[in-house]
Amino acid sequence: MKICSKDYLMFSFNAKEPPALYVEQGEMFQVETHDRFFGRREFDTVLSEVGGGRDPLNAITGPIFVEGAKPGLILKVDVLKLELTDDKGVVCAVPGKGGFADKIWETRTKVVRIKEGYAYFTDDIKIPIAPHIGRIGTSPPPPEEIPTGTAGRHGGNMDNNMLGEGSTVYLPIFTEGAFLGVGDFHAVMGDGESVLTGVEVAGRATLRCEVVDWPPITWPLLKTRDYVMNMVSAKTLDEATKIALDDMAKLLQRIRGMDYIDAAMLISIAADLRICQIVNPVKTVKVIVPRHILPI
């Protein structure tokens, strides 16, 4: 199986640099990623030792060129397997960042042991792990680029804790080959990623891509065993919420042939409006619909 090594770093979603890997549609392949701190355990050493003029905290792996990917179509990515390759992860708090912002008075990194399916915050407090991919996205046509730390219609730093093994993500394609980037794995993270990070960890994802023209999406979509959800990002939660609800109502309209107001009513009683993350340059919300309601 082809492997995209974690030596191939992307510092933005872009199609300007040569692809790290070429894959066919339907071909299984693997992507390795560093943990967000490159194995370092002190926040400051990451910035000083790994940087090389670029922001190492935002490095992901890629780009991957998918044969047949064309602008206007959709990249369907199956997350077949998601392995953690380290028995330790890192949580980090930084003054002025994230949902606690001004309340954080010092930079603190905390190493969390991962053992037998649990992340040990302390010896007493253990949390069942639920590994997922924090960042996955396609690239804009050159010379454009999108910082890997943000999120948008291309995907990116969405930090959806349901994007784990067995899920399928649908991403709009903007340039030939799609130029897929993948990274920012978390062993576990709550909705919100409230302080700034999840349990950041190195890993290996086994993926399979297909180029499709359905479902009719304008924002990224995620399908799990039980649910389908969109992932919409904007400057504020209130703005992201408004766009995500409208996006999901339109999807229900198109896929089920429902009237818009009926779709809105159905979302109100049967779908969950939830937060992915509040700590990136834009915030991300998701509208989570049971699969029997949105059959894709």
Q: Phi and psi for 157 in degrees, rounded to 5?
A: -80, 65
Q: Does 226 bind a copy of itself (CB under 8 A)?
A: no
Q: Return the residue of 60, 66, 69, 91 that touches a copy of itself, per CB under 8 A.
A: 91
- Give the three-class secondary structure for 28: strand
Least Å distance, CB 159 to a copy of itself, is 11
Cβ of 81: how many Cβ atoms within 10 Å? 14
Interaction mask 273-292, a copy of itself, x per CB under 8 A: xxx--x----x---x--x-x
Task: Give the torsion through C-alpha atoms of 20, 162, 38, 61, to 10 deg.
Answer: 10
Nearer to a copy of itself, 74 or 112 (CB): 112
Q: Does 101 bind a copy of itself (CB under 8 A)?
A: yes
Q: Does 193 bind a copy of itself (CB under 8 A)?
A: yes
Q: What is the rounded CA–CA span in Å between residue 277 and residue 287?
A: 13
| Lookup result for tokens 């053992």 | 115
The gap from C-alpha 217 to its chain's centroid, in whole angstroms, comes to 17
Least Å distance, CB 175 to a copy of itself, is 32
266 φ/ψ sector (left φ>0, alpha ψ -120 to 50, else beta): alpha
Nearer to a copy of itself, 71 or 190 (CB): 190
The angle, 0 to 180 degrees and rounded to 10, between the axes of the packed helices 237-256 and 260-270 is: 120
Q: Which residues contact 76 (CB under 8 A, 6 or more apart)?
A: 168, 169, 170, 209, 210, 211, 212
Q: Return the residue of 49, 87, 226, 238 that touches a copy of itself, per CB under 8 A.
A: 238
Least Å distance, CB 277 to a copy of itself, is 9
Q: Does 3 bind a copy of itself (CB under 8 A)?
A: no
Q: Does 118 bind a copy of itself (CB under 8 A)?
A: no
Q: What is the rounded CA–CA span in Å between residue 93 and residue 243?
A: 29
Q: Return the residue of 47, 104, 211, 255 that touches a copy of itself, per CB under 8 A.
A: 104
Nearer to a copy of itself, 106 or 116 (CB): 106
Least Å distance, CB 242 to a copy of itself, is 7
Q: Which residues bind a copy of itself (CB under 8 A)?
A: 91-93, 98-101, 103-106, 108, 110, 112, 119, 121, 125, 127, 188-199, 236-238, 241-242, 245-246, 249, 260-262, 264-275, 278, 283, 287, 290, 292-293
